[in-house]
Amino acid sequence: MIFSSATFLFLFLPVFFLLHLVLPGTKTKNILLVVASLLFYAWGEGIYVLLMIISVFLGWLAGILIAKYDKYAKAITAISVILNIGMLFVYKYAGFFVEIINYIPGIEIPAVTVRLPLGISFFTFQILSYVIDVYRDRSIVNKSYFSTLLYISFFPQLIAGPIVKYHDINLQIESRKVTAEGAAEGIRRFIIGLSKKLLIADVTALVVDSIFALETGSMSGACAWLGAILYIFQIYFDFSGYSDMAIGLGQMFGFTFKENFNYPYVSLGIRDFWRRWHISLSTWFREYLYISLGGNRKGNVRTYVNLFIVFLATGLWHGANFTFLVWGIYNGILIVLERAEIIKIKNKVLCHIYTTFAVIIGFVIFRADSLSVAFSYIGRMFTPSAYTGGFSDALSFCTPYLICTAIFAIVCCLPVLPYIKGKMQTLSLRKVSVLEGATYVLVLLMLFVCIMVLAANTYSPFIYFRF
């Protein structure tokens, strides 16, 4: 089940939201949310819901043992981490490593084919967050398996994040309050995310998929650039749209999730980009991997190595493919070069141009089916002869609808809303109320358009479902 489906919008969400409003007490509401979350996951994954339930149980048990047996806490934590990483390896990376081993002459291991459970990277990282947080602070151990299961399986963030760290939400599980204002803001945020997905990401996806399906040797450089630029819009509005919907749903049920995006395409440098892009993942790696490796406490060389390892892991986290691995290495190298001030651009305009080009090239690698396709595609972007045949293939994709969508996407990539909110602080309370009311009218109009689009479109999963 996905958020942008009729089943979710008109059946699942209204039923469980209304039940959550009328049921008394936090414990009763938590039971409802666990049932809803397991149903949500089982709807598409069936038997794999048992894998998640067992994984959560083992993580919860590890937390109990860590809190009870201080002498063995470190060993229990290590075992739990190894078990969870091992499970992730089996389902996500076993086939990839068999493929690598088979490159060795004389070795031929049968291919390993295991279907990847949806959201396994996300719920595994949240289990790890729980276990490590309990190891660091025994007092926050959750003695209720049911509450721990809710933290891991809560349906808004279960399949594609944001990755919610346990210490950020543990108090909300036991005590929270649903207010009319919070629910209204949550609904508004959800509709904004839904609009990002249906009105921008899915529109650009049609063109991106068509261009990346072309033979790279025959496409023009302009067509290659068009596909690359549109893809950065697709992936941003697809993923940030999901995050908006997850955060909005959390608000509707009384939870507050941290932001996952902060206008990444206005970044000045790749370091700045990763402070703004998929914030929950980058902060997770910083808290649980980078700091554990020593962070920046052991000299510059060790800092650079630690940063590189983090981005190597970031690439692998996204998938078992050489493209993701190279994408992680690519970002790691740029981060290290910027940290070492080998890449240092003081002029903001030039720095923004450099960052935009670096991000576009990186996402071409990320999007391509293989490294050979990625490098061939990038080659067309920078080969002068690729522009001698004209731009007719690129222009054939540039319909008025796509051009309007692209313009709208560019505006939405800019921090326009924070600017407007800042200006609103200088207005009278009455004017602010009128503008607030206008925003709700606008989002209702957006919802109406989304419903019309949804009725005409086919199934369109979110990009990060496969991670």
- pLDDT tens across 14-28, in order? 999 999 999 988 899
- Long-range (24+ apart) CB contacts under 8 A made by 275-283 are 278/161, 278/162, 278/239, 279/162, 280/161, 280/162, 280/163, 280/164, 280/165, 281/161, 281/163, 281/314, 281/317, 282/314, 283/165
Q: How many CA atoms lie within 13 A of 375 on its CB side?
A: 7
Question: Does the pLDDT value for residue 58 go beyond 90?
Answer: yes
* DSSP states of 21-70: HHS-SHHHHHHHHHHHHHHHHHHHHTTHHHHHHHHHHHHHHHHHHHHH-G
407-438 burial, b at 16+ Cβ within 10 Å, e below that, comes to eebeebbeeeeeeeeeeeeeeeeeeeeeeeee
Quote the DSSP letter at residue 71. Answer: G
Which of 50-54, 89-93, 182-186, 272-276 is least confident? 89-93
Burial class (CB in 10 A: 0-12, 13-18, 19+), 305: middle
Question: Does the pLDDT value for residue 385 go beyond 60?
Answer: yes
pLDDT at 419: 77
Contact 268, 348 (CB under 8 A): yes
Does the annotation mark 318 as catalytic? Answer: yes
Question: Does the pLDDT value for residue 467 go beyond 80?
Answer: no
Task: Report the percent of the chain where pLDDT is more than 70.
Answer: 95
Contact 166, 151 (CB under 8 A): yes
Q: Is 321 helix (H, G, I), strand (E, B) or coil?
A: coil
- pLDDT tens across 261-301, in order? 999 999 999 999 999 999 999 999 999 999 988 888 888 89
Q: Check 20, 167, 278, 318 and give the catalytic one.
A: 318
Among 320, 330, 317, residue whose Cα is nearest residue 359: 330
Question: Does the pLDDT value for residue 221 go beyond 60?
Answer: yes
Question: Does the pLDDT value for residue 386 go beyond 70?
Answer: yes
Question: Does the pLDDT value for residue 251 go beyond 90?
Answer: yes
**Structure tokens that stand for 451 in this block:** 């419903």
pLDDT at 244: 94
* C-alpha span between 189 and 175 (Å, rounded): 23
Among 305, 302, 300, residue whose Cα is nearest residue 341: 300
Residue given tokens 């919802």 in the structure block: 447
Query: pLDDT class for 7, splitting at 50, 70, 90?
Result: confident
Residue given tokens 């939870």 in the structure block: 255
- pLDDT tens across 74-132, in order? 999 999 999 999 998 888 888 888 878 887 887 778 876 778 788 888 899 999 999 99
Question: Does the pLDDT value for residue 459 go beyond 60?
Answer: no
**Structure tokens that stand for 20 in this block:** 């959550």
pLDDT at 328: 95
* C-alpha span between 379 and 385 (Å, rounded): 11
Query: pLDDT class for 190, splitting at 50, 70, 90?
Result: very high
pLDDT at 452: 86
Burial class (CB in 10 A: 0-12, 13-18, 19+), 19: middle
Query: pLDDT class for 158, splitting at 50, 70, 90?
Result: confident
pLDDT at 67: 93
List for the chain the helix, strand, coil content (%; round to 5).
75, 0, 25
Q: What is the mean pLDDT of residues 21-36?
A: 92
Residues 6+ apart with CB under 8 A from 303: 295, 296, 339
* C-alpha span between 248 and 401 (Å, rounded): 28
Query: pLDDT class for 432, splitting at 50, 70, 90?
Result: low
Among 94, 112, 96, 115, residue whose Cα is nearest residue 44: 115
Taking the mean position of all CA atoms in its chain, how far away is CA 199?
A: 19
Burial class (CB in 10 A: 0-12, 13-18, 19+), 461: middle
Q: Give, for 262, the enclosing helix (H) or strand (E).
A: none
Quote the DSSP letter at residue 90. Answer: I
* DSSP states of 155-184: HHHHTT-----HHHHHHHHHS----HHHHH
**Structure tokens that stand for 122 in this block:** 């996300």
Q: Give, for 193, the enclosing helix (H) or strand (E).
A: helix 180-195
- pLDDT tens across 301-355, in order? 999 999 999 999 999 998 888 999 999 999 999 999 999 999 999 999 999 999 9
Q: What is the mean pLDDT of residues 226-243?
A: 95
Contact 363, 235 (CB under 8 A): yes
